């Protein structure tokens, strides 16, 4: 069916044949995740090509899986099947590009990589970190490479388990009253900022509680949502300071596995969301979590005002954990949609997201049982 399929000569002939094919044949452009629409290549270079679909033109860079702009209309089953055949049959300029095309067209990139003897670990790393990433956020600060995030997490673990405990060994605990008060106010303002930004970037216009896919276009609202997902990651990074405050105040009993795991896991997921899925249904988590955090940091701020206020707020303490558990339960139920057959969000998002939610729920349940069950009896 495709003229390039039978080309088995040298690389030069393959490149010429593929260029001839791309320049003369319609190409299928991704609409959302699984829908495709036929278009005609109107301009092509070594790095990118422009495809005319209906009245619009969509530019796609060959180093990324997703087009910079996506059509809005759905397509037929025949076109989707043709897209799959296109991915399988066209000889690539190089094997890594073949895997990128396969991932774009029929979501079988893992099979492609396993079956290619030419793909090396370094190329696989580039494929996952570069090619699969959202091209809009790929070069943003702290997003481009995972070693940046890993370095921050390792520094955090070293600080709270080695450096700060050694530093505080022969010192009196710091009070940090003003610093913690300012930090709590900062978190409240940051959460209000996130709720406003995320809600006005999609949730009050066209988002729903269903399987909301990510809009990877360069349009104003999707790009604005991506920017707020980056800020969400920064806020989660700032939350690591809380563990440092515990150690400096010699409240080491509060540096629990739950506390450390929760902060690290939410930071990692925020980074993954910003790099690969900066929009869509994952942003519901930001809304709900930010709302709960406004209540939580408001409580922390009030209890820091003195013993009298702390005593008045004692009744609220156990309710905060219940709120967190309810929040996690709602997010878990909402996120299950990611792995359902009718949802067009890549299953990988669900496989990463859902186990973490279950682990956090179990840890919080265990914390609640140990801390409050006996008191309630």
Residue where a domain stops, chosen among 101, 131, 161: 131
How far is the C-alpha of 85 from the C-alpha of 72, rounded, in Å? 23
Q: Answer yes or no: do 172 and 127 share one domain.
A: no
pLDDT score for 327: 95
pLDDT score for 146: 94
Q: Answer yes or no: do 16 and 120 share one domain.
A: yes
pLDDT tens-digit readout, 231-248? 999 999 999 999 999 999
Q: Answer yes or no: do 234 and 265 share one domain.
A: yes
- Residue 127 placed within a domain: yes
Whether residue 186 is predicted with pLDDT greater than 60 in this model: the reply is yes
The residues near 217 (Cβ < 8 Å, ≥ 6 apart) are 68, 69, 70, 223
- Residue 5 placed within a domain: no
Region 245-259: mean pLDDT is 94
Residue where a domain stops, chosen among 99, 131, 163: 131
- Residue 55 placed within a domain: yes
Out of 21-30, 57-66, 249-258, give the one with best mean pLDDT.
Answer: 249-258
Q: Answer yes or no: do 82 and 194 share one domain.
A: no
How far is the C-alpha of 284 from the C-alpha of 327, rounded, in Å? 11
Q: Answer yes or no: do 98 and 151 share one domain.
A: no
Q: Answer yes or no: do 121 and 197 share one domain.
A: no
If one compares 365 and 116, the residue with the highest pLDDT of the two is 365
Which residue's entry shows tokens 């991506």? 226
- Residue 136 placed within a domain: no
Q: Is 265 in contact with 360 (CB distance < 8 Å)? A: yes
- Is residue 55 packed enough to be buried (19+ CB in 10 Å), middle (13-18) or exposed (0-12)? exposed
Q: Classify the C-alpha dihedral 54-55-60-66 as positive or negative.
A: negative
The residues near 92 (Cβ < 8 Å, ≥ 6 apart) are 18, 98, 101
**CA dist list (Å): 173 to 23, 167, 254, 255:** 71, 11, 14, 15
Whether residue 174 is predicted with pLDDT greater than 70 in this model: the reply is yes
Beta-bridge partner residues of 30: 36
Q: At 132, phi and psi to the nearest 5?
A: -75, -15
**CA dist list (Å): 336 to 167, 187, 327, 333:** 44, 29, 14, 5
Region 195-219: mean pLDDT is 91
Q: Answer yes or no: do 213 and 325 share one domain.
A: yes
Q: Answer yes or no: do 156 and 300 share one domain.
A: yes
Q: Answer yes or no: do 250 and 120 share one domain.
A: no
**CA dist list (Å): 77 to 84, 104, 197:** 11, 16, 37
**How many domains is the chain partitioned into structurally?**
2
Percentage of the chain lying above the pLDDT 90 cut:
48
Region 247-258: mean pLDDT is 94
Which residue's entry shows tokens 């989660």? 236
Q: Classify the C-alpha dihedral 14-20-26-27 as positive or negative.
A: positive
Domain that holds residue 207: 146-376
- Residue 6 placed within a domain: no
- Residue 4 placed within a domain: no
pLDDT score for 13: 53
pLDDT tens-digit readout, 322-372? 999 999 999 999 999 999 888 888 888 888 999 999 999 999 999 998 887
Confidence of residue 107 (pLDDT cuts 50, 70, 90): very low
Q: Answer yes or no: do 190 and 107 share one domain.
A: no
- Residue 140 placed within a domain: no
Q: Answer yes or no: do 221 and 122 share one domain.
A: no
How far is the C-alpha of 350 from the C-alpha of 335, rounded, in Å? 7
How far is the C-alpha of 367 from the C-alpha of 260, rounded, in Å? 13
Q: Answer yes or no: do 125 and 167 share one domain.
A: no
pLDDT tens-digit readout, 124-152? 787 788 878 888 998 899 999 999 999 99
Catalytic residue among 64, 232, 259, 262: 262
Whether residue 41 is predicted with pLDDT greater than 60 in this model: the reply is no
Residue where a domain stops, chosen among 70, 101, 131: 131
Q: How crowded is residue 292: how many other Cβ atoms within 10 Å of its Cβ? A: 17
Percentage of the chain lying above the pLDDT 70 cut:
67
How does the average pLDDT of the chain come out, rounded?
A: 76
Q: Is 259 a catalytic residue?
A: no
- Residue 44 placed within a domain: yes
Beta-bridge partner residues of 61: 48
């Amino acid at each position: 069916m495709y003229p390039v399929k039978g080309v088995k000569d040298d690389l030069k002939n393959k490149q010429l044949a593929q260029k001839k094919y791309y320049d003369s044949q319609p190409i299928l452009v991704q609409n959302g995740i699984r829908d495709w629409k036929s278009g005609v290549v109107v301009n092509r270079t070594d790095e990118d090509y422009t495809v005319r679909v209906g009245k619009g033109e969509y530019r796609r860079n060959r180093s990324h899986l997703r087009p910079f702009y996506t059509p809005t209309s759905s397509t037929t089953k025949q076109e989707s099947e043709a897209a799959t055949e296109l991915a399988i049959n066209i000889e690539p300029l190089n094997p890594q590009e073949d895997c990128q095309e396969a991932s774009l067209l029929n979501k079988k990139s893992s099979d492609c990589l396993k079956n290619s003897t030419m793909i090396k670990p370094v190329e696989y790393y580039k494929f996952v970190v570069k090619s699969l990433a959202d091209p809009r956020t790929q070069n943003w600060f702290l997003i481009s490479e995972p070693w940046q995030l890993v370095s921050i997490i390792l520094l955090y673990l070293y600080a709270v388990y080695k450096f700060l405990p050694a530093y505080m060994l022969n010192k009196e605990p710091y009070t940090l009253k003003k610093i913690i008060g300012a930090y709590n106010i900062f978190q409240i303002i940051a959460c209000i900022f996130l709720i406003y930004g995320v809600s006005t970037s999609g949730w009050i216009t066209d988002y729903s509680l269903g399987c909301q896919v990510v809009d990877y276009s360069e349009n104003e609202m999707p790009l604005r949502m991506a920017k707020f997902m980056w800020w969400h990651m920064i806020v989660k990074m700032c939350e690591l300071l809380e563990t440092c405050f515990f150690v400096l105040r010699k409240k080491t009993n509060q540096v629990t596995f739950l506390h450390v795991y929760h902060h690290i896991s939410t930071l990692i997921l925020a980074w993954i969301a910003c790099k690969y899925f900066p929009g869509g249904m994952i942003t519901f988590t930001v809304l709900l979590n930010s709302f709960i955090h406004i209540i939580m940091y408001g409580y922390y701020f009030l209890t820091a005002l003195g013993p009298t206020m702390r005593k008045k707020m004692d009744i609220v303490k156990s309710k905060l954990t219940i709120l967190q558990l309810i929040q996690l339960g709602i997010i878990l139920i909402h996120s299950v949609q990611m792995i359902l057959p009718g949802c067009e969000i890549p299953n990988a998002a669900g496989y990463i997201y859902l186990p973490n939610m279950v682990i956090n729920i179990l840890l919080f349940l265990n914390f609640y049982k140990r801390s409050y069950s006996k008191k309630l009896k």
